[in-house]
């Protein structure tokens, strides 16, 4: 009976693709979310964009070698925004490294450029896929996502308009 149980477990793993070998390279995406708000910016936004908010879904895909060291990383971004004044223009968006309440340096830039996103009715979205990230940055995000934040900048608030710490899903 004991051997039958092991045989069934092995058969199940073979049929569904269990990935329990730590020595195999892996490229399964890890998903993070960030519930963005103007109140989380440092300092909080107090002008016409004070009611702005949004949601970012960030997928980090890493490639590892046989020793589990990250050798490459890419990031996909899906961002929705609302509560902006009609016609607000988004200029840039990226991941920074710093805890809540502090500003930090940019570590992953979405590549979004000024003029690419205008929130005609005060709401909108953008998607960026396959953005390169440094392997050491990817490892730090995986190790401590709460020490990283995603934020979006606008013409009215060039230092950042909506922000949130990353949360692993």
Give all strands (DSSP E) within the chain, no chain letters. Answer: 30-37, 53-64, 70-82, 88-97, 105-109, 117-119, 124-133, 148-154, 162-165, 167-168
Report in angstroms the alpha-carbon separations of 95 from 69, 83, 87, 156, 159: 22, 22, 24, 20, 13
Q: Is residue 7 included in any domain, yes or no?
A: no
Q: Is residue 153 included in any domain, yes or no?
A: yes
What does the pLDDT read at residue 53? 98
Q: Is residue 14 included in any domain, yes or no?
A: no
Tell me how far apart the terminal alpha carbons of the chain are, to the nearest angstrom: 38
What does DSSP assign to residue 85?
P
What does the pLDDT read at residue 1? 52
> How far is the C-alpha of 42 from the C-alpha of 55, rounded, in Å?
18
What does the pLDDT read at residue 28? 84
CATH number, domain containing residue 82: 2.60.40
What does the pLDDT read at residue 12? 45
Structure-token pair, residue 122: 């005060």
From first to last of its 169 residues, the chain has per-residue pLDDT tens of 554 444 444 444 444 444 444 444 457 899 999 999 999 999 999 999 999 999 999 999 999 999 999 999 999 999 999 999 999 999 999 999 999 999 999 999 999 988 899 999 999 999 999 999 999 999 999 999 999 999 999 999 999 999 999 999 9
> How far is the C-alpha of 85 from the C-alpha of 123, rounded, in Å?
8
The parent domain of residue 57 ranges over 22-168
Q: Is residue 17 included in any domain, yes or no?
A: no
What does the pLDDT read at residue 37? 98
Structure-token pair, residue 30: 């890890």
Our count of domains for the chain comes to 1
């Amino acid at each position: 009976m004991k051997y039958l149980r092991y045989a069934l477990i092995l058969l199940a793993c073979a049929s569904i693709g269990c990935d329990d070998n730590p020595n195999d390279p892996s490229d399964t995406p890890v998903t993070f979310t960030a519930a963005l708000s103007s109140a989380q910016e440092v300092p909080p936004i107090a002008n016409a964009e004070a009611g702005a908010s949004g949601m970012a879904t960030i997928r980090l895909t890493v490639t590892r070698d046989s020793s589990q060291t990250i050798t490459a990383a890419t990031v996909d971004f899906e961002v929705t925004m609302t509560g902006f004044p009609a016609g607000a223009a988004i200029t840039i968006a990226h991941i920074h490294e710093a805890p809540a309440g502090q500003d930090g340096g940019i570590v992953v830039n979405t590549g979004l450029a000024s003029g690419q996103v205008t929130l005609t009715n005060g709401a909108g979205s953008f998607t960026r896929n396959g953005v390169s990230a440094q392997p050491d940055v990817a490892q730090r995000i995986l190790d401590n996502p709460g020490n990283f934040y995603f934020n979006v900048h606008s013409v009215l608030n060039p230092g950042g308009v909506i922000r949130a710490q990353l949360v692993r899903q």
